[in-house]
Structure 1
């Protein structure tokens, strides 16, 4: 008989915490999980899922245009209803949250709808009541970060974009990462005039340089104004909206400003500092290869550890923790060759090294092409796709694959399987093309351009 109320207490009902709770409970552990907002976490409630639904909605503006090129007559100008979209999104989020709750209940985990804090190596306090647990797992995710500038309280964050009741006619977006660029495409597609401000020389830092340049060019072709090497010094609320005070004494006015300038781990206020658990400068919880903190009974997974902030990675970390501790199967999360997609417009899919990273490993060959998709030719749209393979000259292994264009995320999942298995350029070359598709370009790149 255990001396504790629970074998495992999970703090945070997002993807990583829910997966850990379910797998542990299915192994026979007595599990509790607490979530102060809504089960599903950032991805389901205020991130990936609602954002992808908004991406779908925003693409119709171009598809109505494309339809005319294919012979369809649109009798009246299409009209967009912001509140109808919001209602549809939240109906879907409600459905998904219920699935999360049902799966936890079916696994035998007990759920708390309240904030929990760690008050000892084996103690959690929730709603003023203390409970004990043999192990505690922190999976509280991350939150949007806004720089400490005058008027920061007037800025929206990505969390707010799924809740605001009125669509802004003019929107400033501050930031150049994937969240900023995704929302720029979404709002532009829905009819908002979008200006994006980024303090560095090009958006999407960390991505392949050729991809960054290509996406920025296509975004500008769609009507998004990108201001690089430009930082905001102050946000001022006015009767008409907000005024941005930019470097060099310049000002610009908008209806709203969205800050997408990164995310910080949600670790503060949980009681971790009192237990001397090591935190990084931004609050990330330090863990070992098995997600264990410096206090042996306390673990952490997901964005709160700031290892690789992706939902599927958080799920893998939660599952690895539960397998290690409750299935007697020591498992480390695998961070090598993780495929990712960015739902910019055009979309990005990538796996493996960028060209600059690959050059540091030895001699490489770069295969790259840009072209207009067949679908866009008759429609009269000038958007171009990009396909890029980076290959080791010594081993012929494909070190990196980068795709920009329609369904890039779908394609990169399959390319990721091949590259994870160690595929060579010869393997790509001897694979018969599927015609006519954009994906066939990946197996028909014959001569390196560099």
Structure 2
């Protein structure tokens, strides 16, 4: 077999698809379900549940305005049933997509031994190997950790927990808190350091006051013990509720131990071509660490595939846009390579506007918030924190402007479809003034 790909998450699936499109012979091996964490346990599940919470939030708003009189009756069991049903459809489509370019897909747990991949009592030699085995939830070593849930358990819960203690302070913790708080849980977030430190202070304040006002946040607090229906903090406080760990990810790199070089955190060490310490072995996606984002994993998988096929390609990580999926999206991007001096830095901020999805938020005054730092000497954006119903597309467009090192005048010809990315125009207009 010329090319073997182990793992069919965003990195492995797109990598194998790219190899197939380039006319390469490919064997794709998946241990569980095709499409990996994203579809089966991660962002797609979060997005599906957040679609429900956005509907609940809109329903409450319309009822408060008096032009709709309704009561939303939620069946968590039915929601889970339909998510699983949709996942099954998408798995079939993803497999068909890979097979349509001539790739072979098999299921089983792979092992690498002496230049051979073994799976289901079969052995396959390879010219090139791509390891894209992803990552799994990291659970801190605290007493009673076996009582805690993780994102892997969301579709196994019978009903919405009455009370929930989310241990962790990052994006996943925020998204889980938003979902279950909207569904009716009493939610606590217990963060070892700061909550949502990816965001600036005013953006974080808006999230807590406007989007998740019913969530209790405990910062700089460690959990020392977990029980089935409560947790104990280092301060001796007992917080009732089911423990839920959102404490990061750990790489599924055991398959590569002793074969390629690993980083101190056990992620697989790769260069900008996604090549490991062994010439014909590549790695991509969450197993390599870095940005644990589906679009980045896809980019890494495609980069690895092109190099495996002999087409030199490198991956760049500048200006990566990110989003916190809540009842109103919170998107952000930063140019880590900006050389802007302190004297040339300028910051503007303004409330959201009545763009797409925000019209009925105007009466309550919660249309969002935007804060931008830019280089006034070079007329370029340094960073954006943006809350609006259209922030996902807005920041994606603007991050491209930043990544290509364009100045704002280059963006003058951008023409949006109204209403869609109107906020782009508003952002740029404020920076020009």
Same fold (TM over 0.5): yes
Q: How far apart, CA to CA, are the structure 2 residues paired with 1:45 and 1:392?
A: 41
**Matching of residues 40-439 of structure 1 within 5 Å:** 40-75=35-70, 77-120=71-114, 122-200=115-193, 202-221=194-213, 223-237=214-228, 242-254=229-241, 256-268=242-254, 270=255, 272-275=256-259, 277-326=260-309, 328-353=310-335, 363-371=344-352, 373=354, 375=358, 380-426=363-409, 438-439=423-424
Instruction: Quote the RMSD (CA, aligned, Å).
Output: 2.6
Structure 1 residue 95, shift from structure 2 partner: 1.0
Displacement of 1:164: 1.4
Between the aligned partners of 1:206 and 1:309, the Cα distance in structure 2 is: 14
SS of the residue aligned with 1:445?
A: helix
Give the structure 2 partner of residue 3 of structure 1. none
Structure 1 gaps of 5+ residues are 1-5
Distance 1:199 1:293 in 2: 33
Q: Find the aligned partners of 1:365 and 1:63 in 2 and give their Cα distance.
A: 36
TM-superposed CA distance for 1:107, in Å, is 1.4
Q: How many residues align?
A: 429
Q: 1:136·1:299 contact (CA, 8 Å) conserved in 2? A: yes
Give structure 2 stretches of 5+ with no counterpart.
Answer: none
> What TM-score do you get using the length of structure 2 for normalisation?
0.91
User: 1:358 deviation in Å?
Assistant: 7.3
2:119, 2:44 → 1: CA distance?
Answer: 29
Shift of 1:261: 0.6
For 2:252 and 2:177, how far apart are their aligned partners in 1?
Answer: 26
CA distance in 2, matches of 1:182, 1:383: 19
Of the structure 1 ranges 142-151 and 378-387, higher mean CA displacement relative to structure 2 is found in 378-387
Instruction: Decide whether the 8 Å contact of 1:376 with 1:382 is kept in 2.
Output: no
Distance 1:383 1:160, change over 3 A: same
